[in-house]
A and B are shown apart, each in its own frame.
Chain A
Amino acid sequence: MRGMRWTMVVALLLLVAPLQVWAQEEGGPGEVSAQAATPAPAAAPSAPTTFVGGTALLVEEGRWELGLFGPLRYGLIEKVELATHPLWFFVAPNLQAKFNLGQRGRWHLASKAQLTYPTPLLRLLSREGIGGILPSDRAVPHLVSLQAELLATRAYGEHLLTYGLGVQVLPRVGASEMVSIDLPFVYPRTAAAFGWATGIAQVQAQGPIYKKLGYQADVRAFVYPGIEGAFAVEQGAGLRLTTSERFMAQAGYRFSYAGYPFGTMTNIAPTVELAWGF
């Protein structure tokens, strides 16, 4: 129970942290902005700013980026980026905000908060016949997924290395008879519905290889203590073709080794993404 309480405390801190730092940077009396506290070295190279969704960097103010499967991102102001997954918006309303927390030395810092209401989608999948991912006789409660993540990115020339640490909670309202979806990539992201929280850690790298060809790779770990399965590790990598600031295509794979109620399972799947910027 103590561990769960601490998880909740950390989750709460992560959720409110971006708002607090943002308020500080607005110049509250007697407060020092995070960026001002440790100014960036003057010689630091400028980091790329296009198609950097998984990093601590933000989309430029006024710029839109739209992924085929990925989110629609918008640079609201210099310090705030908004995003949503339009494909799922009408069955799983979702909104994500990324806040620039400034720099510490060569590290760009950001926090990300995501709110998702997956209940309509889960109820859609709770049906008889084909497409019935969940049993139709089990009530799906109202669920809200809250996910917060701290991101730190360092640029090595045009290469970006990002560390992330986050937490997801999935509180429910009302009686629940919902059963878990014991599928790779899905179970780790929904396990929090059956416990207190899921902890998420990631390392990601991206950068150029040759001319317009680049790479993107990441390792992501999930822990859901107290929930059957308890952990998941995912590793993905892809080759990325960035023809301009307006278009990027990526193809690769994603590997998963995870614990489920029935034991552990290894999976690998191909991935593809197209994204446009404007």
Chain B
Amino acid sequence: MMQVALMQVLASALWGCDPFNATFDDVEDARYYEAAELVAPGERGPELVVMDWNVKFGGARIDFWFDCHGERVIMDEEEVLENLEGLAMKIRQVDPDILLVQEIDIDSKRVAYIDQVQWLLDHSDLNYAVFASQWRAHHVPTDGIGRVNMGNAILSKYPIRDAQRIAMPQISTNDALTNYFYLKRHILTSVVEVPDYGDLHVLNVHTDAFAQDGTKEVQIDLFKDELDRIDRAGGVFVAGGDLNTLPPGSVKQNDFPDSICVSEDFQADDFRQETDALSELYAAYTPAIALADYQADNAPYFTHSTQGGTFWNRKLDYLFTNGTFVAGSGLTHQDAASGGVDTMELSDHAPITVRFALEAP
């Protein structure tokens, strides 16, 4: 029994250049979804509600191995469904027209193989979605992770087309074997067909958390390049995601109380060398949270903490547009007082929302 099984696993690894289905082309079509039952959008004013949320694959505040707070790797189906219920409850409360999601799993052992994109579509008023993988392998042979398919998704009440996965470079200091199984960052681009408005480009990105070789900055530049390209072509976009870096003018840039990882591979929370990483984005486009508001007081806009016991203590999540956000409509849903729901227990990121004005392009 063991002989056949283990020999075949070894042989599988040597068979072909991508035996674990872990690599991507530079540009690929995204995967399309549709809710089991389409919900007719209600009456809409001259605005769209846009929401962005890193949902931590439905892991809520379980202490996973990569956070260095715990050792968990795998969740049971009941845990995943309970956590997804929390996410869906918040999404239904916000009732967004467009939702950008990072760290959502569609075919992973750690989430009992629940397709979370389909599940959220079927448990909200969102109808359509596109998904692009960020971490995919038939089997990741480390830490008991096993099969994984995690990525970014764009969910919408309105039809989506022309969705593509645009690959971004990987951390250059990793060896080839590590990078083969490692996260592969990308930009997910799409066009949402908004009734009585037209095409709205929607882009979702999740840049590297653990890069210490400048890869993250390169990825942010590529993201801005893509926005510039759409802008030059006369398109209107809403774009955002988890950029894994702080806004210019952040007071606290390192030594966060919940950053306890000692491994060099998991150092993600010293931002002193990248204080201007987002300056060009802020200069070129309109953020959901005005930079002046953030710089006046950072805390109300924090979106991340690695441990449930510590309140949100840095901002990593963003929305930008080259159109118009309704002034003052940006909101970081930190707790019941700011957004109506305590989001601390739902994910390690707080969602942000903004109202996009449907002005003639």
Give the B-binding residues of A (Cβ under 8 A).
69-71, 85, 87-88, 92, 94, 114, 116, 118, 121, 126-138, 145, 147, 168, 179, 181-186, 189-190, 254, 256, 261-262, 265, 267-272
Count B-side interface residues using an 8 Å CB cutoff: 31
Q: A114-B1, A126-B144, A182-B147 are in contact. Are A135 and B73 (CB under 8 A)?
A: yes
Nearest B residue (CB) for A131: B141
Q: How far is the CB of A275 from chain B (nearest CB, A)?
A: 12
Q: Which B residues are in CB contact (< 8 Å) with A256?
A: 8
Q: Which A residues are in CB contact (< 8 Å) with B224?
A: none
Tell me which of B10-18, B45-53, B210-218, B305-313 binds A: B10-18
Contact: B15 with A269, CB < 8 Å?
Answer: yes
Q: A94-B2, A131-B141, A182-B146 are in contact. Are A271 and B7 (CB under 8 A)?
A: yes
Contact: B143 with A271, CB < 8 Å?
Answer: no
State the CA gap A126–B146 with chains docked (Å). 12
Q: Does more than half of chain B's interface fall in helix, strand or loop, or is it mixed?
A: mixed
Tell me which of A116, A181, A184 contacts B12 (CB under 8 A): A184
Nearest B residue (CB) for A71: B3
Contact: B144 with A269, CB < 8 Å?
Answer: no
Interface residues of B in 1-30 (CB under 8 A from A): 1-9, 11-12, 14-15
Q: A269-B8, A269-B12 are in contact. Are A116 and B144 (CB under 8 A)?
A: no
Contact: B3 with A85, CB < 8 Å?
Answer: yes
Chain A CB within 10 A, most for which of B6, B8, B109:
B8
Contact: B2 with A88, CB < 8 Å?
Answer: yes
State the CA gap A121–B143 with chains docked (Å). 16
Give the A-binding residues of B (Cβ under 8 A).
1-9, 11-12, 14-15, 65, 71-74, 107, 109, 112-113, 138-139, 141-147
Q: Which B residues are in CB contact (< 8 Å) with A121?
A: 2
Q: How far is the CB of B105 from chain A (nearest CB, A)?
A: 11
Q: Which B residues are in CB contact (< 8 Å) with A116?
A: 1-2
Q: Which A residues are in CB contact (< 8 Å) with B145?
A: 132, 135
Q: Which B residues are in CB contact (< 8 Å) with A168?
A: 1
Contact: A185 with B74, CB < 8 Å?
Answer: no
Contact: A131 with B142, CB < 8 Å?
Answer: yes
State the CA gap A16–B310 with chains docked (Å). 61
Q: Which A residues are in CB contact (< 8 Å) with B138?
A: 183, 265
Contact: B139 with A132, CB < 8 Å?
Answer: no
Contact: A129 with B3, CB < 8 Å?
Answer: no
Q: How far is the CB of B77 from chain A (nearest CB, A)?
A: 10
Contact: B72 with A137, CB < 8 Å?
Answer: yes
Contact: B3 with A70, CB < 8 Å?
Answer: yes
Q: Which A residues are in CB contact (< 8 Å) with B144?
A: 126-127, 132-136, 138, 179
State the CA gap A254–B9 with chains docked (Å). 11
Q: A88-B2, A116-B1, A270-B15 are in contact. Are A254 and B146 (CB under 8 A)?
A: no
State the CA gap A206–B235 with chains docked (Å). 66
State the CA gap A181–B109 with chains docked (Å). 10
Q: A71-B3, A262-B113 are in contact. Are A129 and B142 (CB under 8 A)?
A: yes
5 sampled A-B residue pairs with Cβ under 8 A? A133-B141, A135-B72, A137-B73, A182-B146, A189-B5
Q: How far is the CB of B129 from chain A (nearest CB, A)?
A: 19
Tell me which of B2, B6, B8, B142 contacts A254 (CB under 8 A): B8
Q: Which A residues are in CB contact (< 8 Å) with B141?
A: 130-133
Q: Which A residues are in CB contact (< 8 Å) with B142?
A: 129-132
Contact: B113 with A136, CB < 8 Å?
Answer: no
Nearest A residue (CB) for B70: A137
Q: How far is the CB of B161 from chain A (nearest CB, A)?
A: 27
State the CA gap A70–B141 with chains docked (Å). 24
Q: How far is the CB of A200 from chain B (nearest CB, A)?
A: 10
Q: A138-B144, A265-B138 are in contact. Are A179 and B7 (CB under 8 A)?
A: no
Q: Which A residues are in CB contact (< 8 Å) with B12?
A: 184-185, 267, 269
Q: Which A residues are in CB contact (< 8 Å) with B6?
A: 88, 186
Chain A CB within 10 A, most for which of B2, B14, B109:
B2
